[in-house]
Amino acid sequence: MFHYLRIPDEYGYFQLDVFLLTRLYGVIIEVKNIYGTISFDDMGQMIRTANEIEEGFHNPLEQIAVQEYRLRKWLKQKRYSTNDRTLREKVIHEAQLLSKLEKIANKYEKTSLNTRQWNKLTEKLIEAHTEQKNDILNKYGIHREQLLKGVFCYACKLPSMVRIHGGWKCTQCGEMSPDAHMAAFKGYYLLHGNMVRNREAREFFSVTSPDIVKQLLQKGSFEKLGNGSATKYVMNADDWVKS
């Protein structure tokens, strides 16, 4: 399952909130958090009724149709075939999602991809994903090379923490911390986006050991995408980045 895939194509970029890819099928899931009663008028506009007030929204079904078209075209360019099946009852409540996916799975008896093909397509999607550039550095005219690298000490506010015996110790003031790396992950997220590779985290933390950084990424309970050198970890802002 992929979250917030952003893929370049000839029209620019298209983004998928959630893309569930199995060896049997692929499903695009667009998430909308809207209260009230939802309906669609004859013109295809989505209407939300709440407290006896009607409000119009862009039709998410049209958005899904565009995403599907662009994804199919991208897959074709990568030499993957797709069928023309589309879903009925495309708008459902979140409580119905699991049962809906089970119904979809029951419709497919023959796998479309073998394990090798599935792994290869997964890697291609991860490689194609392009983070939307954060404007903070550009806004203030700061280059990546100018950023202070390292894990910062809570006490003396210097990037002088080193990894010792499963924790962190400041080489300047001697302060100890079990989780100083989490603030560094937050900083990376805010500056560079929600996906990070082991190599990128090592550079940002000023840590040379890939094994130590791998352990920190795993302890962070970040979602892992891909394998080997293509591995990326997804940091979820809703879990630990304060607004």
Element containing residue 128 per DSSP (H, E):
helix 115-128
Question: 193 to each of 62, 133, 185, 200, how far by Cα in Å?
Answer: 28, 8, 10, 12
What is the reported pLDDT for 211? 93
Q: Domains in the chain, please, with CATH? A: 2-35+62-128 (no CATH), 136-240 (1.10.10)
Which pTM value belongs to this model?
A: 0.54
Which H or E run includes 27? strand 26-29
pLDDT for 87: 64
Q: What is the pLDDT of residue 193?
A: 79
pLDDT in tens, 11-58: 888 889 889 888 888 888 888 777 788 887 777 678 888 888 888 777
pLDDT of residue 159: 94
pLDDT tier at 239, thresholds 50, 70, 90: low
Sign of CA dihedral 100, 102, 106, 107: positive
